[in-house]
Amino acid sequence: MLGKKLKQVKFLTYEQMVDNLKNKNLSISDKKLAIELIKARGYYNLVNRYKNHIYNSNRHYPNHTHLTDLYLFQVMESDLQDILFQATINFEHRFKEAMAHSLSKEFGIGEADYLDPLKYKRRKRNKAISITAFLLDIAYHTDKNPTRYYRRRYDCIPPWILINNVTLGQVRMWFSIFNSKMTSTVVSEMLPIDTYPSQIIVGNSGVGSLALRQMRMKSKPGEYRDIFGFFHDQSAEEVKKLEDEYQKDFDNIINLFKNMLSIIHDFRNNLAHGNGLFDFKSNSSLLLTPLRLFASTSVITNQEFNSRFGKNDLLSFMISLILTLDKYDSLNLIKHLRDWRNNNNSTPERSNALNLFLKGLNLPTNFISRLEHINIELTHEQYRHRMQLF
C-alpha cells in the first residue's frame, strides 16, 4: 500500500517569507520592519502558531490584518504564559507544603519513617515500593540543595526538605499512594473548604456539606456518625442511603482535586517547554458535580461544560488554579489577569487584537469575571463574619 504523499519543506529567505505573507493578504507596510520581527520571534512563533485561528475559508488573512497583529498575539500570549506559569509555581509550593506537613505528622520526619512503603496504601504496595525507592535514591544521592546540605549536616532529611528536590510530576505520583486520611488532609488544605461553615446545606440532602465538613475535621470516611450525630432520627435504610451518598460525595471531591492536579501538571509542562496555549488540552477533565460546590453557573453553565467548554481546556486550568491557590495568590492571579486584559485594551487596535486572541484561545471575553465568581478561601475576618450569620 502506498504511503501518504508528504508535503515538501522549502527554505525561504526572509524576503521570500515576507512576500509569501503578502500573497496571503497580510498587510505589511514596512518590509524591513517585518523582517526584523521575523528574525526576533521566528516565523513559526510569529505566523504559523496563529494562522489557523485567523485564516478565512480560503486560507488567507482577512482584509486589514496586519503583521503587527500577529506580533501583538505573540506578546499577549507570552505575557499570559508568564502569569500562569508563576501561578503554577505558587501552587506547587503550596501543594508540597501540605504534603510534607501531612507526612511529618503521620509518619515522622526521618526518611526511613516517611519513605517506608508499608505505611502507604496496601492496594498500591508495588507502586509504593517503586516510588519510595526512587525518593530514597534522591535523598541519598542527589547533589542538589537543600537535600544535599541536610544529608551532610543533619541526622535526617525531613520531608519538607526532600520535597524541594522532587518535581511536580514526581510529587503527584507520591501523592497517589497516600492513604485516605492523608489524602483528605491534603485536599482539605488545598481546596477552599472553610468557605463553607458546617451548617450550610449543599444540595437537597445536605450530603455535600457533610463531605466538606468531614474533610475540614481531617478524619477518615466512616467516622462521621460520631462527628455529626446527624442520623439519630433516621431509619437504618435511610442511614444507609445517606452513607452511600456521603461516601460518593466525599470521593468525588477527592477525585476533583486529583484531576485538577493533573490539569495543572499538564499545563505546567506545556508552559515550561515554551509551547503555545492555542489548542492545548489536558488529558484529565474537571468533574462537574463536585465542582458545583465551589463554582456556580456564573462560572460555567451545564450546557457549556457538556459541550467540553471549561472541561480540560485553558479555562479549566485557570479554574483549577483559582480553587487550589492560597486565597491571596488567587486574588493576585485575578489581579494580574485583569491588568493583562486592561493593558491589551489600551487602544482600539490592541482591543481588536485581544478579542481575536481570546477567540483563538476559546476564552470568553468575560472570563475574568467568571473566575471572580469562584468561591475561594476566606480570610480569617471573612470566615468569622460568615460564621456569625449561622
- At 116-137, the pLDDT tens digits run 999 998 889 999 999 999 999 9
pLDDT higher for 212 or 34?
34
* Most confident residue range from 28-32, 194-198, 213-217, 378-382: 28-32
The lowest-confidence range among 143-157, 224-238, 282-296, 362-376 is 224-238
Tell me what pLDDT residue 203 has.
45
Task: Quote the strand ranges of the chain, DSSP E.
Answer: none
Q: Does 302 score more than 50 pLDDT?
A: yes
226-238 per-position pLDDT tens digit: 444 555 566 677 6
The number of residues in the chain equals 390
- Mean pLDDT within 244-270: 90
Is-contact 310 319, C-beta < 8 A? yes
Q: Which of 102-111, 147-156, 297-306, 378-387 has the lowest mean pLDDT?
A: 378-387
Higher pLDDT, 278 or 247: 278
How many angstroms separate the CA atoms of 323 and 260, rounded? 9
Segments making up each domain of the chain, as ranges: 78-268+277-380
The reported pLDDT for the residue numbered 245 is 74
Peptide bond into 221 cis (omega under 30): no
List the one residue out of 388, 284, 374 whose CA is nearest residue 322: 374
Residue 329 to residue 56: CA distance in whole angstroms: 40
By the 8 A CB rule, do 340 and 79 touch?
A: yes
Question: Sign of the CA dihedral 309, 191, 259, 276?
Answer: positive
Distance CA 281, CA 347 (A): 31
Question: Residues 267, 308, 323, 87: what is their CA dihedral angle, to the nearest 10 degrees?
Answer: 20
Question: Would you tell me how many other CB atoms lie within 10 Å of the CB of residue 285?
Answer: 18
pTM of the entire predicted model: 0.86
What pLDDT sits at residue 22? 94
Indicate the burial class of 236 (C-beta count within 10 angstroms; 0-12, 13-18, 19 or more): exposed
pLDDT of residue 200: 39
**pLDDT tens digits, one per residue of 185-240:** 999 899 987 655 443 334 445 556 556 666 655 555 555 444 445 555 666 776 67
Arithmetic mean of pLDDT, 67-72: 88
Segment 27-33 shows an average pLDDT of 93
pLDDT at 1: 47
The mean of the pLDDT values for the chain is 86
Instruction: Report the pLDDT averaged over residues 137-155.
Output: 95
Work out the average pLDDT over 371-383.
69
